[in-house]
A and B are shown apart, each in its own frame.
Chain A
Amino acid sequence: GAGVSQSPRYKVAKRGQDVALRCDPISGHVSLFWYQQALGQGPEFLTYFQNEAQLDKSGLPSDRFFAERPEGSVSTLKIQRTQQEDSAVYLCASSSLGPTDTQYFGPGTRLTVL
């Protein structure tokens, strides 16, 4: 594809609901990253995939957060029992090879938890 796409662009959830955020990376990109960007802050790392393998999930803030990339392309970030502090923009990025290659970012999903 032309770039990284994410859906939905905006999501409003009631506290306690589960949400699923989708990322379509650039075709053929091996590496995929999820970041969380709170208002007025820089992105903070959540998790990293190399193909279908989740090599680093050290940034996931709690066990309510789960990410998968079962076929090594599309990825889904799932948040269970959402809390107000989960409100943020969730950014997905992909790179062609390893983690030090240039990361290309999607437009993000803005999650608001009421």
Chain B
Amino acid sequence: AQSVTQLGSHVSVSEGALVLLRCNYSSSVPPYLFWYVQYPNQGLQLLLKYTSAATLVKGINGFEAEFKKSETSFHLTKPSAHMSDAAEYFCAVPPAYSGAGSYQLTFGKGTKLSVIP
């Protein structure tokens, strides 16, 4: 079954600094990968989605992620952090194509991003 690992439960960056949030997937190459953001007391909002059409995926709010098969990674980056980026970020992988009827997204444990003024 597919799974994702997010390194670092908490990341702090200064305002204007580079944001790098790490996500590694396991098993075979997934056809899709997602990054979601969750602001306090809110549901999850889709940041971006990898669909194998392009390895570099641009999302909302200036975020992008690069799919690297050799590293089994899909790290999320933003060149310059803004105070409004403070939130929790989740990497997720869709159901495995095993035919076993597993339908759910599998989420990483999340990385909480703090932005220091």
Contact = CB atoms under 8 A, between A and B. Distances in A.
B90 interface: yes
B101 A55 contact: yes
A79 to B, nearest CB: 19
B104 A56 contact: yes
A100 B45 contact: no
A45 B43 contact: no
Interface stretch (B12-20, B67-75, B76-84, B107-115): B107-115
Interface in A31-80: 31, 33, 35, 40-45, 48, 55-56, 58-59
Given A42-B109, A100-B94, A48 B43 contact: no
Contacts of A96: none
B29 interface: no
Nearest to B94: A100
Contact of A43 (B44, B101, B102): B44
A55 B103 contact: yes
B2 to A, nearest CB: 11
Q: Which 5 A-B pairs have the closest CB atoms?
A: A45-B104, A42-B107, A105-B43, A99-B103, A105-B44
Q: Which of A35, A40, A42 has the most CB of B within 10 A?
A: A42
